[in-house]
């Protein structure tokens, strides 16, 4: 496995790499990331994993400086998975002008759901992903469904800007108790970790109500918020949306996703559950 730090070196490697699958990450890798790598390996001759903590997607007061940098451990895990290249540029390499002068501006969706609570986050995501797509020139890229809004925005980015790359969604990795795997889980106290799976259980209850035929979506959302709040959570949102567009769901929609974000102590957790109606 090669660890590459510069755009020039990666582009030179790419010339003879055959079909390439790409997994962009910010490092501090867990089993969910490795599931993306395994899916990528099925689809290409070589897999490139980027590790770059992207300042542009962190808002004021968020944990950019505290975000764990664990390159040595991450590289060991990726070597064990048979990854061909780890691309780990520094900020000057990826943002040579210090301040990024041209940014990718997603549509209104960037200001809804998680974007309402993290202004500018999805602009930062779209910008860095666009740059990485141009650098890696991969044939395929794998993204996890846990970050469902991010996945939807990336799909739109590829479609609207004509990137020649296939986006492969990968199901959310979960612990045995249902908690979605996330780097943020390590911030949970022992008591909070025991409570954390409640978010997924509440989304499951909401999904069951929808499958039973209820179209009282606002009431279903309110019930999840009430249940979480009574258990000590601070809820950002729980919403039922169209699974493909993330527009607000309407009666008659058959492809739905229930999304939630809430804080447990100081840790913000997100999760979602797709609901397909016949």
Catalytic residues: 33
Residue pair 271/260 in contact (Cβ under 8 Å)? The answer is: yes
Binding site for ATP: what residues are annotated? Answer: 26-33, 144-147, 173, 181-184
State how far the Cα of 206 lies from the Cα of 108, in Å rounded to an integer: 26
State how far the Cα of 117 lies from the Cα of 4, in Å rounded to an integer: 35
- Based on its alpha-carbon atoms, the radius of gyration of the chain, rounded to whole angstroms, reads 19
Binding site: what residues are annotated? Answer: 26-33, 57, 144-147, 150, 173, 181-184
Binding site for beta-alanine: what residues are annotated? Answer: 57
Binding site for (R)-pantoate: what residues are annotated? Answer: 57, 150
Cβ-based neighbours of 178, under 8 Å, separated by 6 or more: 197, 200, 201
């Amino acid at each position: 496995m090669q660890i590459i730090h510069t755009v020039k070196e990666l582009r030179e490697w790419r010339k003879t790499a055959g079909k390439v699958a790409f997994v962009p990450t910010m490092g501090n890798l867990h089993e969910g990331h490795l599931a993306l790598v395994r899916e990528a390996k099925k689809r290409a001759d070589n897999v490139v994993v980027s590790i770059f903590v992207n300042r542009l997607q962190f808002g004021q007061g968020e944990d950019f400086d505290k975000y764990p940098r664990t390159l040595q451990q991450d590289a060991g895990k990726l070597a064990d998975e048979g990854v061909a290249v780890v691309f780990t540029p520094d900020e000057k390499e990826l943002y040579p002008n210090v301040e990024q002068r041209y940014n990718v501006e997603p549509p209104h969706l960037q200001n809804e759901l998680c974007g309402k609570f993290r202004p500018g986050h999805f602009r930062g995501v779209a910008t860095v992903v666009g740059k990485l797509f141009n650098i890696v020139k991969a044939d395929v890229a794998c993204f996890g469904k846990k970050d469902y809004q991010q996945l939807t925005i990336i799909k739109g980015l590829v479609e609207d800007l004509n990137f020649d790359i296939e986006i492969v969604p990968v199901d959310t990795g979960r612990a045995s108790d249902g908690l979605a795997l996330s780097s943020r889980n390590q911030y949970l106290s022992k008591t909070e970790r025991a409570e954390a799976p409640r978010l997924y259980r509440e989304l499951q209850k909401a999904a069951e109500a929808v499958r039973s035929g209820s179209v009282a979506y606002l009431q279903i959302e309110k019930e999840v918020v009430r249940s979480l709040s009574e258990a000590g959570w601070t809820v950002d949102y729980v919403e039922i949306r169209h699974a493909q567009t993330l527009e607000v769901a309407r009666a008659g929609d058959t492809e739905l996703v229930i999304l939630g974000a809430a804080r447990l102590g100081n840790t913000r957790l997100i999760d979602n559950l797709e609901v397909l109606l016949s």
